Chains A and B, each alone.
Chain A
Amino acid sequence: MSLSAADVRRIAHLARIEISAEQTQATLAQLNDIFAMIEKMQRVNTDGVEPMAHPLGGRQRLRDDVVTEPDQRDENMKNAPERADGLFLVPRVIE
C-alpha cells in the first residue's frame, strides 16, 4: 500500500494539520516506510479471530448519571487562550 501526495494532503486535512508542499514529499517518504513495515501484519491468517480492543477483555464500565464534580469553572478555564464571561472565545464561526 503506497501513499500519494494527494493522500498525504487528504489525511493532513482530516487531522487538521498543515503540511507545506516541501514537507509533503519528506512526509510521504516517511509514511511509505512506515506502511511498508506495517504490511508484514497483512500476511498472517486471522480468519475467525475476534478483534481485541482491551488487553484484558474489559468492558466499558457505566455509572449512575449524577453530578459528581464541583463547580470550578474559573479554575478549569484558567489556561484558556481567550475567554470572557465564562465563555471560551474563538474567531467568528457564522458569517
Chain B
Amino acid sequence: MTELSHATVAELGRLLEGKQVSAVELATFFLTRIDAHRDLNAFLDVRPEVTLAQARAADERRARGETGPLLGAPIAHKDIFVTRDWCSTASSKILKGYVSPFDATVVAKLKDAGMVCLGKLNCDEFAMGSSNENSAYGNVLNPWDKTAVPGGSSGGSSAAVAARIAPVATATDTGGSIREPAAFTGVTGTKPTYGRPSRWGMIAFASSLDTAGLMTRSAEDCALVFGAMLGFDPKDSTSLERPHEDFTRFLNGGVNGLRIGVPKEFFGAGLQDDVAVAVRTALAEYEKLGAQLIDISMPNAELGIPVYYVIAPAEASSNLARFDGVRYGHRAAEYANLPDMIKKSRSEGFGAEPKRRILVGTYVLSHGYYDAYFIKAMKVRRLIADDFQRAFGQCDVIASPVTTSVAFGFGEKASDPVAMYLADLYTVPGSLAGIPSMSIPCGFGAKGRPVGLQLMTNHFEEAKMLGVAHAYQQATDWHRRVPKGY
C-alpha cells in the first residue's frame, strides 16, 4: 500500500468509491506515516483513537449507500482552527491545553463531507510569521532540506503535505501564510476570496485579512475540497453569500488565448536570480500552451508591506486583547492584583512576535497616531486594491514570483523582524485586495529548494484560477516531485 502516500485526494476518492480501500485503512496508513516522521514536528496533537472513530463513521456512511469523493479522505487542520476533539493552541503557550467547546465551521463542514481528521498542525504563533520559527512548540522542518524553514505561518500544513504524511491540509493566509510555505515546500497552496470560507472558529489574527485555504498536491484536489469547505456562514459577520459553485468546472478549459499579466514591480531588485529564472521558465511554458504574456504595472504594490504592517498588527492588537487569563488560557501563578494578573498572564503566555505586533498595533491605533497611521494605511490599501482592478481590465490572471528567494535557513532572519516581514513582499498585495491567489510549484532554485509561481485572479474567480494552474500541472510534473526519503 506504499503508493497511497503519493495518491492525490482525487485518486483516494476513486479508491474509496470503488471500495478498494476503506477510510480506516487510509487513516491507519497516514497515522503510521505521521508517527514515522515525527522529527518534522509538523503535528502538535495526534489522537489515533479519535481519528479511527471518524474513519469508522465514514466507512459506515459508505456502507449505508452514501457516496462522494471526500467521504473517508484524510485531512489535517492547522492549529488555528478550533476543534472539539483535539487541543487548539494557535501554537501559543497562552492556549496550552485549551479544548474548544465547538468545531470551527470549516472543520465542521469538512467533517460533514466525511473527511477524517489526522490531527492539528504546527504553525507560527497566532499565524504571525513567515518561517514557523515563532511557534511555542518548536520549529517545523522543510522535508526538502531539514536545515531550511518550511515557511510560515502554515509551516506544519505545508511540511505535512510535502512529506506526504497528509494528502491535504487546511491552512490560513493573512499576508501570505499559505502561499509562501507552499512555495518553500513545493506544494499547491490556495487562498480563496476573502469572505468565502467562514472565519467562525478560526482564531483571529487580522479580521479584514484572515482567509482559510488549503495545501494540496494539485489544483484539482483544491477544487474538490473547496466545494465542501467554502460557503456562507451566518455566524461569521464578514461571510459572503454566493450561489453554490463547482470549483472543478474550468479545470480542463486550457489556457489558449489566456492573457497573463506580468507586473514589473514584482520582478524588481529584491528578487533572487534562481527564483526569477524558474518563474520566467514557467511563464514561457504558459506561452507554449497558448497563453499571452502582457506587461502590466502596479505602482502601489510595493507599499503593500508598510500598509500590511500597520493594518494587521492593529487588528491583531484588538483580537488578542481577549487573552487575559480570566476565562481561558494561561493565568499567571503569582500576581499582586487583577491588573497585575492580566499583565503577567499575557506577558508569560505570548511569544516575542505576537508581543511585537500587539505593541505596533496599539501604537498605530492610539490617540494622536490613528489618523496618520491606521487611517492612512486604509487609504493606501484602497490604492493597492484599485491597482488590481485596473490590472484585471487588461488581463485575465496575474502571475508573479511568490517569494524573493527559496526557503532560507533556520535563524537566518529570526533576529531581524523587518527582514522577515519583507518575505511577504509579493503576497501581501493580494491579501489587501482580498483576491484569490495561489502558489504552484514551478521548479527548484538554490540548494535544491523549491520555487513557487503565484497566480492571482479577481474576486470570486477561484475556478478560473484553479483551471489555469491545472493546465500547467497537466503539462509539467513539478507538483509530483517528492522530497528524498518521503
> Which residue of chain A has its CB nearest to the CB of B335?
A91
Contact among A31, A58, A60, A80 with B360 in the assembled complex (CB-CB below 8 Å): A31
| Chain B residues near A2 (CB-CB < 8 A) | none
Residue A75 lies at the interface, judged by CB distance under 8 Å to chain B: yes
- The listed residue with most A CB atoms (<10 A of its CB), out of B339, B362, B375, is B362
Residue A51 lies at the interface, judged by CB distance under 8 Å to chain B: yes
Residues 323-339 of B at the A interface (beta carbon under 8 Å): 324-331, 335, 337-339
CA distance A63 to B346 in the complex (A): 34
| One of B41-49, B290-298, B305-313, B442-450 at the interface | B305-313
Residues 345-367 of B at the A interface (beta carbon under 8 Å): 346-347, 350, 355-356, 358-360, 362-363, 366
CA distance A47 to B337 in the complex (A): 48
Residue B418 lies at the interface, judged by CB distance under 8 Å to chain A: yes
Known contacts A37-B305, A41-B376, A58-B195; is A14 also within 8 Å of B362 by CB?
A: yes
Q: Is the CB of A11 within 8 A of B362?
A: yes
| Chain B residues near A92 (CB-CB < 8 A) | 337-338
Residue B434 lies at the interface, judged by CB distance under 8 Å to chain A: yes
Residues 74-95 of A at the B interface (beta carbon under 8 Å): 75-82, 88, 90-93
Residue B15 lies at the interface, judged by CB distance under 8 Å to chain A: no
> Which residue of chain A has its CB nearest to the CB of B367?
A14
Residue B101 lies at the interface, judged by CB distance under 8 Å to chain A: yes
Convert A7-18 into 0s and 1s, putting 1 for each residue whose CB lies closer than 8 angstroms to a CB of B.
110011011111
Contact among A18, A42, A52 with B344 in the assembled complex (CB-CB below 8 Å): A18
Q: Is the CB of A11 within 8 A of B363?
A: yes
CB of A95 to closest CB in B, whole Å = 9
Residues 1-42 of A at the B interface (beta carbon under 8 Å): 3, 7-8, 11-12, 14-19, 27, 30-31, 33-42
| Chain A residues near B325 (CB-CB < 8 A) | 81
Q: Is the CB of A11 within 8 A of B417?
A: no
> Which residue of chain A has its CB nearest to the CB of B194?
A55
Q: Is the CB of B309 within 8 A of A37?
A: yes
| One of B24-32, B234-242, B262-270, B399-407 at the interface | B234-242
CB of A21 to closest CB in B, whole Å = 14
- The listed residue with most A CB atoms (<10 A of its CB), out of B209, B309, B341, B380, is B380
Q: Is the CB of A38 within 8 A of B310?
A: yes
Please count how many residues in chain B sit with their CB below 8 Å of the partner chain's CB atoms: 70
Q: Is the CB of A75 within 8 A of B101?
A: yes
Residue B385 lies at the interface, judged by CB distance under 8 Å to chain A: yes
Q: Is the CB of A17 within 8 A of B355?
A: yes
Residue B478 lies at the interface, judged by CB distance under 8 Å to chain A: no
CA distance A60 to B239 in the complex (A): 10
> Which residue of chain B has its CB nearest to the CB of A20?
B347
Q: Is the CB of A56 within 8 A of B362?
A: no
Q: Is the CB of B237 within 8 A of A79?
A: no
Q: Is the CB of B208 within 8 A of A93?
A: no
Please count how many residues in chain A sit with their CB below 8 Å of the partner chain's CB atoms: 52
Residue B382 lies at the interface, judged by CB distance under 8 Å to chain A: yes
CA distance A31 to B363 in the complex (A): 10
Q: Is the CB of A78 within 8 A of B341?
A: no
Residue A66 lies at the interface, judged by CB distance under 8 Å to chain B: no
Known contacts A27-B359, A37-B418, A75-B101; is A44 also within 8 Å of B331 by CB?
A: no
Q: Is the CB of A58 within 8 A of B240?
A: yes
CB of B458 to closest CB in A, whole Å = 11
Known contacts A41-B376, A52-B379; is A16 also within 8 Å of B346 by CB?
A: yes
| Chain A residues near B350 (CB-CB < 8 A) | 17
Q: Is the CB of B366 within 8 A of A14?
A: yes
Q: Is the CB of B383 within 8 A of A49?
A: yes
CB of B246 to closest CB in A, whole Å = 22
Residue A71 lies at the interface, judged by CB distance under 8 Å to chain B: no
- The listed residue with most B CB atoms (<10 A of its CB), out of A27, A49, A63, A77, is A49
Q: Is the CB of B379 within 8 A of A58?
A: no
| Chain B residues near A56 (CB-CB < 8 A) | 193-195, 240, 434, 459
CB of A34 to closest CB in B, whole Å = 6
Q: Is the CB of B379 within 8 A of A46?
A: yes
Q: Is the CB of B381 within 8 A of A52?
A: yes
Q: Is the CB of B338 within 8 A of A90?
A: yes
Contact among B346, B380, B459 with A17 in the assembled complex (CB-CB below 8 Å): B346
CB of A64 to closest CB in B, whole Å = 11
Give me the interface of A with B, judged by CB distance under 8 Å. Answer: 3, 7-8, 11-12, 14-19, 27, 30-31, 33-42, 44, 46, 49-56, 58, 60-61, 63, 72, 75-82, 88, 90-93
* Interchain residue pairs with CB less than 8 A apart (7): A15-B358, A52-B381, A55-B385, A56-B194, A80-B328, A88-B327, A90-B326
Given contacts A17-B350, A80-B328, 9 further A-B pairs with CB under 8 A are: A7-B363, A16-B339, A34-B309, A38-B306, A39-B306, A40-B302, A51-B382, A55-B434, A75-B101
